Amino acid sequence: MSGTIPSPATGSIRASEHVLRIPAFRKLWNAMSFSSFGDWLGLLATTALAQQLAGGDYATANFAIAGVFIARLLPSVILGPIAGVIADRFDRKKVMVIGDILRAALFLSIPLVGSYLWLYIATVLVECVTLFWSPAKEATVPNLVPKNKLENANQMSLFAAYGSAPIAALSFSFLSVSATAIGETVGLENYSAVDLALYLNAFSFLVSAITISRIEIPKKHIEASQKSDSLSTSLLDGAKFITSSKIIRGLIIGMLGAFVAAGAVIGLARTFVGDLDAGDAAYGVLFGAVFTGLATGIALGPKVFSQFSRRRLFGAALTTAGSLLIVLSLLQNLVIALLVVLFIGAFSGVSWVTGFTMLGMEVNDEIRGRTFAFVQALVRVSLVAVLAIAPLLAAAIGEHTFAFGQAVLTYNGAAFTMLGGGFIAALVGILSYHQMKDRPGVSLWSDIANALRGELGAITTPTTTGIFIAFEGGEGSGKSTQAKLLKGWLEEEGKKVTLTREPGGSNLGSNLREILLANETGVISPRAEALLYAADRAHHVYSVVRPALERGEVVITDRYFDSSIAYQGAGRTLATNEVARISRWATESLYPTLTIILDQPADIGLNRKKNVDRLESESIDFHNRVRQEYLQLASFDPERYLVVDARKPIEEIHLEIVNKVKEFLNK
């Protein structure tokens, strides 16, 4: 069974500052910042050096720069999965420290050797080392921070990765304009700005190595990984987990789609901007918009979308980014295109931070390294493939002109290729969404509507193998009778069933039921009553409902979540969203798979009662408000609710319920 996704963090800068107060993570974050700075500076320096070594020939310079990118990406094809196994089988701290030292030595050697061949060899070797360093780092983060701060930790990690890029660019620019003065100051008169940048790059990796060496990093994964007898067995274990986990499959599919879209934009952006009659300046602004959107999505996404399930948010964000790429391909206006690119980057940032958070939570520690490595390798391979194929495909398509009445529109291969990439990304996002859908029967549109009403409150339902059915309705509607009939039918179908009720489904609940329903109790303040019901529900879920679901049973409860919203919310005229939040917190947002509402006019049910308890003796207006709230809840989320006319014959109601339950049993 998959692990539980934690309640999402606020996503604010203040929350991110809180996670940096954890000493071990703060040290690792400092190391990541230095290492990322070195990566960006190294990329700038090596591509600049490749252009210098080309000797002034334009075509050769472009091929040389492209060669650097290919050299950085191709090693992941072979070493990616192996690097992940190393991160899982060996001391991750040593892997990172040794990796940083090796990268420092390799970057230091590039200006000393000063040849084309060694530039490419060193670049390949640096990338090989990075392939071992990255999964070790990614697998370490979840062990250094509490689960409820993991999303903030991932935000800060991504900020370190992307936030260091402009600093590296500024540093490179500064070295370029002041290389002579710096060289004379430090006694390196014969060295260029590229050489100085590479020396600074090597120094940043040494600082990272020293910082990581001072961190206490857990080693429990080493003992767990010793169950695997060999490297090949470890690779096989990781592959089995990835293919057997629906959540991980959805994540990998989603990330693949994201980078298909990203590769299409990166590979075709310059041509696309040219087709809009813009030049290099607009090209730079376009890329600036992408990174601005990406940073915004990473920083603010978890806060803005805090109401949504992380599993749903991942696929939905990818689908939105792909759809926006389709829109981008059809645009003929540069200003609007820049705005759309900004949103593409933002939704990509949301999916990126969400995906990394889920990987950290869903994957067991002993195989986390190889899973991260597999994902990173897949991302790099897909990016290389798209960067190579997209320009060729665009060139093959060529330019086409379409006339719509008086309007004449010209679209070339870049636009058509982006259009195809957008469709692929959107379809992959939809597939990923359905792979990881964690609230069966509840549509995304229902979540959006409820979130706007404040009625979701960060859905974080853990994955269970059982089915959870709740019976709701007013007094005398026949809930207990139908719950027993459904239990009997399910047992005839070979299902194990737990039948329970609220309040009173546990030992604690029995005592609370006496307090809540006895007429002798008298008047209870509405807020105290809501809290007492929430207390009963919290213990009921903890001691009865969730254990049965984890055993794979069908749980049927007579009253649950919605009773408090209807009775203590609408009935007592409290704010229903506040009552709902109390129950969400109490139950860790465990929602029923199906909620069956037995509906009838309030007076009919009350007339059936001979001995009335404290709630049943409330006014008819109270019970009418309860009924209307039930119907309103069902109207907001029709996929999860079944509303049945309780005035029908008992057998007819039972048949209608059975037919609905069969739909969930067959999924």
Domain boundary among 438, 466, 498: 438
Which neighbouring-strand residues pair with 500?
557
Give dist(CA 545, CA 558) in Å, integer: 12
pLDDT for 234 = 47
Residue 444 lies in a domain: no
Peptide bond into 23 cis (omega under 30): no
Give dist(CA 526, CA 578) in Å, integer: 12
For the stretch 474-501, pLDDT in tens is 888 899 999 999 999 999 999 999 999 9
pTM, full prediction: 0.53
Residue 490 lies in a domain: yes
Residue 29 lies in a domain: yes
Domain that holds residue 218: 1-226
User: Which tokens in the block code for residue 540?
Assistant: 């009921």
Give helix 193-213 / helix 150-177 axis angle, nearest 10°: 150
Question: Is the domain of 201 the same as that of 320?
Answer: no
Q: What is the CATH number of the domain that holds 165?
A: 1.20.1250.20
pLDDT for 236 = 55
> Of 13-27, 433-447, 488-502, 517-531, where does mean pLDDT reach its minimum?
433-447
Percentage of the chain beyond pLDDT 70 is: 63
Most confident of 49-58, 254-263, 508-517: 508-517
For the stretch 207-253, pLDDT in tens is 888 988 888 876 665 554 444 444 445 445 555 555 656 667 767 77
DSSP tag of 215:
S
Question: Is the domain of 188 the same as that of 298?
Answer: no
Cβ neighbour number for residue 527 with a 10 Å cutoff: 14
Query: Which residue in the block uniquely carries the two structure tokens 């060669």?
Result: 67
Question: Is the domain of 483 the same as that of 619?
Answer: yes
Query: What is the arithmetic mean of pLDDT over 349-355?
Result: 78
Domain boundary among 226, 254, 289: 226
Q: What is the CATH number of the domain that holds 546?
A: 3.40.50.300
Question: Is the domain of 31 the same as that of 166?
Answer: yes
Picking from 272, 206, 218, the residue whose alpha carbon sits closest to that of residue 92 is 218
For the stretch 503-548, pLDDT in tens is 888 888 888 888 887 877 878 888 998 899 899 999 999 999 999 9
Question: Is the domain of 414 the same as that of 481?
Answer: no
Contact assessment for residue 372 and residue 359, using Cβ atoms and an 8 Å cutoff = yes
Average pLDDT value for the chain: 75
Number of domains, the chain:
3
For the stretch 547-578, pLDDT in tens is 999 888 999 999 998 999 998 888 888 888 78
Question: Is the domain of 57 the same as that of 149?
Answer: yes
- Inform me whether the pLDDT recorded for 657 exceeds 90: yes
For the stretch 263-316, pLDDT in tens is 676 666 656 766 676 654 565 566 667 767 777 787 777 666 666 667 777 888
Radius of gyration for the chain, computed over Cα atoms and rounded to the nearest angstrom: 30
Question: Is the domain of 71 the same as that of 199?
Answer: yes
Question: Is the domain of 35 the same as that of 87?
Answer: yes
521 φ/ψ angles, rounded to the nearest 5 degrees? -65, -35
> Of 549-558, 588-597, 646-655, where does mean pLDDT reach its minimum?
588-597
Residue 447 lies in a domain: no
Residue 452 lies in a domain: no
Give dist(CA 259, CA 131) in Å, integer: 18
What element of type H or E holds 62?
helix 58-73
The CA–CA distances, whole Å, from 125 to 131, 143, 208, 292, 582 equal: 10, 29, 18, 31, 55
Question: Is the domain of 72 the same as that of 162?
Answer: yes
Question: Is the domain of 103 the same as that of 142?
Answer: yes
Q: Is 455 helix (H, G, I), strand (E, B) or coil?
A: coil
Contact assessment for residue 629 and residue 570, using Cβ atoms and an 8 Å cutoff = yes
Domain boundary among 226, 257, 276: 226
